[in-house]
A = this chain, B = another copy of it.
Amino acid sequence: MSVVVLQGSARAGGNTEELVELVLQDIPHTHVILRDHEIQPIVDQRHAEGGFQTVEDDYDALIQQVLEHDILIFATPVYWYGISGTLKTFVDRWSQSLRSQEYDFKSLISGKKAYVVVVGGDDPRIKALPLLQQLKYTFDFVGLSFEGYVIGKASKPGDIASDERALHDAKGLNAQLKAVLAVKS
């Protein structure tokens, strides 16, 4: 069992990264920082002659790397009540992966475990719920199992340290993850 973080944050050292660190304390993991890579928006060629054309960017390498792991942590600030554009652009490209001839995306991703870590400034424990519902539908579509989430409240860098509830929840998720990793490894 191995863990990968899909980091959708738009700044280094922000609250989302900080909360993820707590969630993954003492847990080895790969950290895929999406903003450090070039990912093109999808061009919808599902119904185009010849299907999807190869895109020259970092997406293929990244998704291959993600698929090598068993537990996926989707980490994102709540931007405008959704996942960040960076993470959304990445997920949109799954439509291309679903039609790839080179690998069977759905059977590869299906059965893996997904967790979500989100941090928002505006009442995220309520206003990020549609975001969670959207991810739930997404996970269901590809057969990911939605195992848990933590919601943090923070705006300015460092704010997360004073969200007692989020710190407590992160610890809970950390314990849950360790239990999963121990049982199955």
Residues of chain A having any CB pair with chain B under 8 Å: 9-11, 14, 35, 41-48, 77, 79-86, 88-92, 94-95, 122, 125-127, 129-138, 141, 146, 148-149, 155-157, 164-165, 168-169, 171-172, 175-176, 179
Contact of A88 among B9, B77, B88 (CB under 8 A): B88
- Partner among B77, B134, B165 whose Cβ is within 8 Å of the Cβ of A134: B134
Taking a contact as CB atoms under 8 Å apart, the answer to whether A81 and B138 are in contact is yes
* Distance in Å: Cβ of A52 to nearest Cβ of chain B: 11
Closest B residue by C-beta to A135: B81
Task: Give me 9 A-to-B residue pairs in the complex whose CB atoms sit less than 8 angstroms apart, sorted by A's number.
Answer: A10-B43, A11-B43, A41-B89, A80-B91, A81-B134, A83-B88, A133-B133, A168-B168, A168-B169
Contacts of A14 in B (CB 8 A): 44
User: Given contacts A41-B85, A82-B82, is CB(A165)–CB(B148) below 8 Å?
Assistant: yes
Residues of B within 8 A of A80 (CB): 88, 91-92, 94-95, 134, 137-138, 141
